[in-house]
Amino acid sequence: MKILISGAGIAGFTLAYWLKQRGFTPTIVEKYPSLRKGGYKVDVRGTALEVVRRMGIYPDLLNANVKLKRSQFVTPDLKVFEFEGDILGHPSEEDLDVNRWDLSQIIAMACGEIEIIYGDSIVQIEEKVHFEKMSPRTFDIVVGADGIHSNVRKLVFGDESTFLKEYGVHFCVFPIPNLFNLDRSEIVYFDKGKLVSAYAAENHSFACLAFKSENNLLPRENLKSIFEERFKNTGWEIPRFVAAMKESNDCYFDTVAQIRMPAWSKGNVVLVGDAAHAASSIGTSLAIVGAYILAQEIEGDYPTAFARYEKSMRKFVERGQNLAQSNLQIIANAESSWLIKLQLYLMKLLPEKFIRLSSKWERWQMKRAANSLKLDSYVDPGRNPRE
Ligand SMILES: Cc1cc2nc3c(=O)[nH]c(=O)nc-3n(C[C@H](O)[C@H](O)[C@H](O)COP(=O)(O)OP(=O)(O)OC[C@H]3O[C@@H](n4cnc5c(N)ncnc54)[C@H](O)[C@@H]3O)c2cc1C
């Protein structure tokens, strides 16, 4: 069976790895001319940890684990609160926190030899698959693993606006010099409608600028200028962040959003990872687990295989998305709901106690959602026991 995967990201490579294990020879097409660099640290949690163990890459990820020792919160009046561990990411003790670029490289390495077509993109899916540059080719299955703004989803399922739930929060992630001499620690600055953060670990340091806006969508051009304008006349060390963003040629811009779809497959086309169910905060783990399950289920009769993949994943994805959504609502509705007003009030009154307590609660919820799917029915990593 010839399988084409659109997107050389976390889901694309995880899927390719497992398809290879099952004896398939997948091909990947990636829009960018090389493996895409960039990104902040992302979490590998719960069931996804079992998948990376089965892939044999757990020790490499453990090596790359950022595992924050400390978090510092800076308020607009420049009060600094310091906490042990990672307060923002809500990781459990066993979770891994890896820079996205490290994670992509480790999964890509594990894949070994594989056909990857860089710098091209699918333009049409009919009996043959048509590409921007390459001549048409025939595939039995096409998988959209091309991220939150999936091209395959647009071509086969329709316009992104039907599935995209946005929260009006725009962010930019970029490498930054280690301005605060951080050592496995993160610094976060909050102000009304704005969040600025940076972390550093081992040999890398990344920052994020985020702001809330009335506009859900930003124009794709001049994003650096839009961010510069938004963070103009802001205090603390923000001008240095903006300067680093302007200098960087490795900025990743996007909008905080989720993808919610009634079905993840149509005919011989199926979606995986963010393309199917972008979630925010738990999206990487969902993508890893989804790619694993899809690879285990793919067989000759693909509609049945896709239906089984979706049945296994649906509830797990919904739990993750609902949890992430309730956290996102806090940012999105920062001034409207009484509950949020109360939270903000408590945060002013008892900042340390409040942050510690709410972090504990969020960690517990995250752990529950991230572990809510068991892989017991896929015992032998190479074979689907239902065969
Ligand atoms: C450069 C980058 C930086 C990121 N940084 C962060 C971050 O800081 N924090 C965070 O939470 N999440 C980040 N993400 C998203 C995060 O990687 C995903 O939410 C999660 O890991 C799920 O992975 P995915 O494989 O489904 O999607 P992604 O990791 O987004 O991978 C999608 C892949 O598809 C490729 N692609 C896009 N369009 C096409 C096309 N037309 N044809 C072929 N290929 C295409 C992309 O270039 C990318 O390689 C980032 C993604 C990217 C690409």
Query: DSSP letters along 8-28, please?
Result: -SHHHHHHHHHHHHTT---EE
183 domain-assigned: yes
The predicted structure's pLDDT at residue 122: 98
Regarding whether 16 and 151 lie in a shared domain, the answer is yes
Residue found under tokens 């709901």:
337
Q: Which of 47-51, 74-78, 304-308 has the lowest mean pLDDT?
A: 74-78
Regarding whether 198 and 286 lie in a shared domain, the answer is no
Regarding whether 361 and 297 lie in a shared domain, the answer is yes
The average confidence (pLDDT) of the chain is 89
User: pLDDT over 70 for what percent of the chain?
Assistant: 91
Among the three residues 205, 221, 256, which one is the final residue of a domain in this structure?
Answer: 256
Regarding whether 112 and 158 lie in a shared domain, the answer is yes
81 domain-assigned: no
269 domain-assigned: yes
86 domain-assigned: no
Looking from the CA of residue 279, the nearest atom of ligand 1 is 19
The predicted structure's pLDDT at residue 340: 54
Rounded distance between C-alpha atoms, residue 245 and residue 236, angstroms:
16
CA 104 to ligand 1 centroid distance, Å? 10
Q: Is the beta carbon of 102 within 6 A of some atom in ligand 1? A: no
Per the structure, the count of domains in the chain is: 2
Q: Is the beta carbon of 46 within 6 A of some atom in ligand 1? A: no
Looking from the CA of residue 11, the nearest atom of ligand 1 is 25
pLDDT by residue (tens digit) across 237-286? Answer: 999 999 999 999 999 999 889 999 999 999 999 999 999 999 988 999 99
Q: Is the beta carbon of 283 within 6 A of some atom in ligand 1? A: yes
Regarding whether 173 and 307 lie in a shared domain, the answer is no
Regarding whether 149 and 177 lie in a shared domain, the answer is no
123: domain CATH number? 3.50.50.60
CA 355 to ligand 1 centroid distance, Å? 30
Regarding whether 231 and 148 lie in a shared domain, the answer is no
Regarding whether 326 and 186 lie in a shared domain, the answer is no
297 domain-assigned: yes
Q: Is the beta carbon of 42 within 6 A of some atom in ligand 1? A: yes
For the cut 50, the answer to whether the pLDDT of residue 307 exceeds it is yes
Domain that holds residue 252: 167-256
Regarding whether 264 and 358 lie in a shared domain, the answer is yes
CA 271 to ligand 1 centroid distance, Å? 14
CB burial of 228-250 (b: ≥16 within 10 Å; e: otherwise) equals: bebbeebeeebeebbebbeebee
Q: Is the beta carbon of 144 within 6 A of some atom in ligand 1? A: no
Regarding whether 49 and 9 lie in a shared domain, the answer is yes
Regarding whether 366 and 289 lie in a shared domain, the answer is yes
pLDDT by residue (tens digit) across 339-352? Answer: 555 665 666 666 66
pTM assigned to the model: 0.93
Mean pLDDT of 160-181: 92
Phi, psi of 87 (to 5 degrees): -85, -30
Q: Is the beta carbon of 89 within 6 A of some atom in ligand 1? A: no
